[in-house]
Amino acid sequence: MASRLNPYLSFKDNARDAMEFYKDVFGGELNIMTFGDMGTPGPLADKVMHGQLETTAGYTIMGADTPDEMPFTPGNTVTVSLSGDDTDELNGYWTALIDGGQVVMPLEKQMWGDTFGMCTDKFGTAWMVNIAGDGNAPAADAPADPA
């Protein structure tokens, strides 16, 4: 297998809900392993040690609950970016991600010709969605039209 880069998201006691939400948004197969599956007893047993969603679009999202003895500082240092030219698919993702979340920048046509927006989902994960332009805009390195 070739190398892959996957977002790995940390949660505090709601990783299962978040990963199931992402499965609802993106489709695919979700595998969840709990701490209990690995022999950890007590209150941590039902928490997610590792969750992995293999989406129908071919990308992977991973996530886990953070145990109490480990630091957990939610923040805005990572944003997950979705991009492509399938308008219906990406609009569908956007609609699902903003449900219960917050629109940071509306999904709108931008000066570079693409449709772009930013949001934070109901689990605090930041997302950017970029839908490639309609193909009528010249490439950045294309010569200007002399007419």
- Could you give the residue range(s) of every CATH 3.10.180.10 domain in the chain? 1-67, 78-134
Quote the pLDDT of residue 40.
92
Q: Which fold has domain 1-67?
A: 2,3-Dihydroxybiphenyl 1,2-Dioxygenase; domain 1 (3.10.180)
Quote the pLDDT of residue 140.
37
pLDDT surpasses 80 at 50: yes
Quote the pLDDT of residue 142.
34
The token duo for 58 is 């071919």
Residue with tokens 């993702």: 93
CATH architecture for segment(s) 78-134: Roll (3.10)
If we measure between CA atoms, which residue out of 33, 31, 19, 23 comes closest to residue 57? 23
CA atoms within 13 A on the CB side of 131: 16
Q: pLDDT tens for residues 77-91? A: 789 999 999 999 999
**Under a CB-based contact definition with an 8 Å cutoff, are residues 12 and 65 in contact?**
yes
Question: With a threshold of 0.85, does the pTM exceed it?
Answer: no
**Under a CB-based contact definition with an 8 Å cutoff, are residues 119 and 102 in contact?**
yes
